[in-house]
Structure 1
Amino acid sequence: MSATMIKEFRLPDLGEGLTESEILSWKVAVGDTVALNQVIAEVETAKAVVELPSPFAGTVAALHEQAGSVVEVGKPIVSFEVDDAGAAPSGGADTAARASGEGASKESPAETAAKREPNLVGYGAVLEKSGRPARRQRSFEAGSVAEPAAAVEPAAAEPAAVEPADVEPMAEREPAAEQERPRSTPPVRKLARDLGIDLGLVKGTGPGGLITRSDVQDFAAGSRPQPEGEVTPEASAVADSQGRETRTPIKGVRKFTAAAMVQSAFTAPHVTEFLTVDVTSTMELLARLKASREFAGYKLTPLTIAAKAVLIALRRNPTLNSRWDESAQEIVQFNYVNLGIAAATPLGLTVPNIKDADKMTLPELSAALSELTDTARSGKTAPADLAGGTISITNIGVFGIDAGTPILNPGEAAIVALGSVRKAPWVYNDEVVVRQVMSLSLSFDHRLVDGEQGSKFLADLGAILSDPAMVMTMV
């Protein structure tokens, strides 16, 4: 008869370098029997809502956190009662060696436990007593030996597109004895440099005294952390006694978006240009495509055609598909297009992107747009789909707005705002007639894009939407 044991599951960082997540809901209760990889909870990171699978098969022994609580990465959230024999990997040379007794003296108890411990991305990333982050272990198939990964600094919630290299190469790290600088992540140090702030003057409020992006921004604004034990206005959603106002915690996607927009607005020098174009021909093309057999079952909108037009215009104006790498003092030119689409979701504004959109046909792009918007509106966008965008579109026309000055998605050189399609008097063939017009707004980073380059891109985009046949002269 096999014995049972209690196994704790600690909150993983979900592969995004995030320091905390909020438990939105539990899908299991104490006493429930769960299978391996069964969804046990729904958690909200700073970027998306993620379903958390169980790393064990067994019975839920305890839930350590309630729904609605914000939990640091590495903290226990649930315990399982599992079968002792079933906790170990099965099959392979490792099992055979244990059965025969060979190699038993060559492994320490810790190494044996490491092999038997199921693993999710970032599972077990706990701060050590020294204040430095613990090493992570990558899980391999049964029978293989787990290799320790390099020590990784926990990163504050930030857009991956801004600083994709949140982990410093080993060769660039200073020896431990020489590391006297305040603990922070590379993106936070970059922000401090941009704002001219000495990190030695900033008090870290993150785990182990880690200086977070919010700490730097608060210092720049002249604010100071409140004494321990004092509750901030964001601690809980509270209505006043007369019901005249309600305070809601700033966290999750809303907090991430706000920080990203502040950083973008005060880091990249924005320039916005406007162009109003006659899109009657595009709307006629759209009507023909909807009626064609090839596009039966596809959802076609002005956004679909505009997205394709943006991709074509980028071929002639590639500087708008780039990134300013401050830390490396380099301009990164992307030879692919991950097209971001700003989406209003129940969690706030997000900008998921379509990977390699430039390689898609119009039907493929239409299907990808439909999937992206449906997923975003349900709040189920995966963190990976929010990272790595190279240029974005925001469709403000769906709200009846003609034009705006969109803020760049951090790490990108340009964003296009599509205004509403309206009937208006227009000079056409030297006569004033009613035509369908649209206003285009283009914001770009003037460090990367000159006025001439931005104007040419916007002119090309307008030319395609005014007369789709112009594509023949551009490809």
Structure 2
Amino acid sequence: MTNSAQTGQAAAGVREFKMPDVGEGLTEAEILKWYVQPGDTVTDGQVVCEVETAKAAVELPIPFNGLVHELRFDEGTTVDVGTPIITVDTGGPATGTGGGDASAAQPAMETGPAAAAEAAGEAQAAGEAAQAAAGEEAEPEGRQPVLVGYGVGASSTKRRPRKPAAGAAAETAAPAPAAERAAAPAPAPASASNGRVAAAPVAPGGPRPLAKPPVRKLAKDLGVDLSTVTPTGPDGIVTRDDVHAAAAPAPAPAPSPVAAAAAAEPLAEAAPEPAAPGARETRVPVKGVRKATAQAMVGSAFTAPHVTEFVTVDVTRTMKLIGQLKQDPDLAGVRVNPLLFVAKAFLLAIRRNPDVNASWDEEHQEIVRKHYVNLGIAAATPRGLIVPNIKDAQDKTLPELASALGELVGTAREGKTSPAAMSGGTVTITNVGVFGVDTGTPILNPGESAILAFGRIREQPWVHKGKVKPRHVTTLALSFDHRLVDGELGSKVLADTAAVLERPKRLMTWS
């Protein structure tokens, strides 16, 4: 494998695939693993490698067919976005993935495993536009234009409309009489990003909406049904802006750095490489998630004034309830554990004290109060610490919250947490108790107002009903941004969380 990224033009018939921006604004990614070798045959949409960014590990599919000609970088190499990483002999003219430079070929893409396929989709759309300009009229019978990786949809034979001539365009654009204008319906709104007129949304049960793979993933992450989205892209394609608009009123959250100071579950940690015999030091490059965590923690610690408060609480009743619910046949297959009840208690405390669920807008000097709770759960993974969050956690029942926590932890264990799952968090829980730690002073996830540390639960002597008895006790610690959360508000949130865990029946009486 050679590092020939600066060799310039590829040989005739060889196409270059460049490192895409799989995380919206990232500048580099590390190649974790190659799934192909020189001489292998690849097909459009086949995953050729896995890369790690500061946000997530992502698999990259190749957007064309051919034979692998060269792997430009070894595994473990950090490569700048826009740099060719693999070349494929396609038997056609030499070209890059999207033509032109990296910025033109690969605009800011959606995150997720299918990110690289978007460049192929852009190239396909450009090719169709060129064919239309050349006067191509007929589409093959039984076919219609589709996106890369989504096959061909059947349709009736039809001709592609010609682009109107200049004279015809002017004639079409001539203003209608006043009476006709008054009777005509108002035009559909134009997309804020491209100015195109929006088409009507696809009716449920109709043809599948056209959207590129990253846009489909974005819609899935945001819980948006594509059939209800009004497309504004060319040929009725749903764009990212369309999905974000459909997800309103909650604004599309910007990807935030990973953060927090502990782990939610005892996930498998990556074993450190053994030191060489006689070595007195080992140097480990700071990159990927670890680099993002370090930058986020420094930024948070020196931007938001942290205050941490503590409370020790008797959770014996909650532990008894957990034991009972584990035997409940209606909750078969649902993981019921202390973290679930801490999360539910924290959400109830936020409902009773909603001002804590906010963020500080430094640019506009405003406090932004959130009417939804995206509950982050700090999780230790082999790649480092990540904080995925449960969207709209405030609306979930206890079984729904349990399922969401199980899915979140399982995805983190597999290393498949997407950047979208780590974006838009409002508050976080970090479970240091699974490591035998009583408590801590957690650092805020940047952009959030509060983080709750949940310590270990252990039996200890406790005064209960006037007598010293062994009781299950834990310590909670709440760190909050003192710019927008004062001591009274922070104390109420922490006290309410503890009160629910002490007497879990308050989950019903306070709801």
Is the structural similarity TM-score above 0.5? yes
1:310-349 aligned at under 5 Å gives the runs 310-349=346-385
- TM-aligned CA deviation for residue 472 of structure 1: 3.0
- 2: CA distance between counterparts of 1:94 and 1:145? 18
2:51–2:59 CA contact under 8 A, matched in 1:
yes
- TM-aligned CA deviation for residue 59 of structure 1: 2.5
* AA in 2 matched with 1:54: I
- 2: CA distance between counterparts of 1:453 and 1:145? 47
2:23–2:55 CA contact under 8 A, matched in 1:
no
1:203-352 aligned at under 5 Å gives the runs 242-352=278-388
SS in 1 for 2:448: coil
Judged with a 3 Å threshold, the aligned counterparts in structure 2 of structure 1 residues 40 and 269 are, in CA distance, closer, same or farther, namely same
- 2: CA distance between counterparts of 1:88 and 1:340? 39
Figure out how many residues of one structure are paired with residues of the other and give that number: 363
SS in 2 for 1:245: coil
2:23–2:53 CA contact under 8 A, matched in 1:
no
- Partner of 2:441 in structure 1? 405
Taking every aligned residue pair, what percent have the same amino acid on both sides?
A: 55
- 2: CA distance between counterparts of 1:444 and 1:14? 32
- Specify every segment of 5 or more residues in structure 2 that has no aligned partner in the other structure, as ranges: 1-11, 94-119, 139-160, 166-211, 216-231, 242-251, 257-272
- 2: CA distance between counterparts of 1:103 and 1:21? 43
Match status 1:16 vs 2:52 = no
Q: 1:79 pairs with 75, 87, 106, which one?
A: 87
SS in 2 for 1:250: coil
Match status 1:63 vs 2:55 = no
- 2: CA distance between counterparts of 1:42 and 1:452? 48
- 2: CA distance between counterparts of 1:25 and 1:38? 14
1:24-103 aligned at under 5 Å gives the runs 24-82=32-90, 99=136
- Partner of 1:177 in structure 2? none
- 2: CA distance between counterparts of 1:120 and 1:8? 21
1:12–1:121 CA contact under 8 A, matched in 2:
no
- TM-score, with structure 1 as normaliser: 0.69
- 2: CA distance between counterparts of 1:27 and 1:364? 37
SS in 1 for 2:417: coil
- 1: CA distance between counterparts of 2:303 and 2:87? 44
- 2: CA distance between counterparts of 1:387 and 1:403? 26
- TM-aligned CA deviation for residue 141 of structure 1: 8.3
* AA in 1 matched with 2:33: S
- TM-score, with structure 2 as normaliser: 0.65
- Partner of 2:454 in structure 1? 418
- TM-aligned CA deviation for residue 82 of structure 1: 3.0
- TM-aligned CA deviation for residue 313 of structure 1: 0.9
- 1: CA distance between counterparts of 2:81 and 2:473? 50
Comparing 91-100 and 341-350, the one that deviates more: 91-100
- 2: CA distance between counterparts of 1:146 and 1:317? 39
1:105-120 aligned at under 5 Å gives the runs none
* AA in 2 matched with 1:49: A
Judged with a 3 Å threshold, the aligned counterparts in structure 2 of structure 1 residues 397 and 76 are, in CA distance, closer, same or farther, namely same
Judged with a 3 Å threshold, the aligned counterparts in structure 2 of structure 1 residues 283 and 90 are, in CA distance, closer, same or farther, namely same
- TM-aligned CA deviation for residue 92 of structure 1: 7.6
Judged with a 3 Å threshold, the aligned counterparts in structure 2 of structure 1 residues 18 and 74 are, in CA distance, closer, same or farther, namely same
* AA in 2 matched with 1:268: A
- TM-aligned CA deviation for residue 78 of structure 1: 1.4
User: Please, what is the CA RMSD of the aligned residues?
Assistant: 3.6
- 2: CA distance between counterparts of 1:380 and 1:452? 40
- 2: CA distance between counterparts of 1:247 and 1:394? 28
- TM-aligned CA deviation for residue 144 of structure 1: 7.3
- TM-aligned CA deviation for residue 121 of structure 1: 6.8
**What does the per-residue CA deviation read over 1:331-390, in whole Å, with 9 as the maximum and x for residues that have no partner?**
111111111111111111111111111121111111111111122223221111111110
- 2: CA distance between counterparts of 1:141 and 1:60? 33
- 2: CA distance between counterparts of 1:238 and 1:425? 43
Judged with a 3 Å threshold, the aligned counterparts in structure 2 of structure 1 residues 453 and 303 are, in CA distance, closer, same or farther, namely same
1:144-163 aligned at under 5 Å gives the runs none
**What does the per-residue CA deviation read over 1:288-321, in whole Å, with 9 as the maximum and x for residues that have no partner?**
1110011101111100111111111110111221
* AA in 1 matched with 2:36: V
- TM-aligned CA deviation for residue 64 of structure 1: 1.6
- 2: CA distance between counterparts of 1:410 and 1:49? 21
Judged with a 3 Å threshold, the aligned counterparts in structure 2 of structure 1 residues 120 and 82 are, in CA distance, closer, same or farther, namely farther
Judged with a 3 Å threshold, the aligned counterparts in structure 2 of structure 1 residues 65 and 98 are, in CA distance, closer, same or farther, namely farther
* AA in 1 matched with 2:461: P
2:458–2:473 CA contact under 8 A, matched in 1:
yes
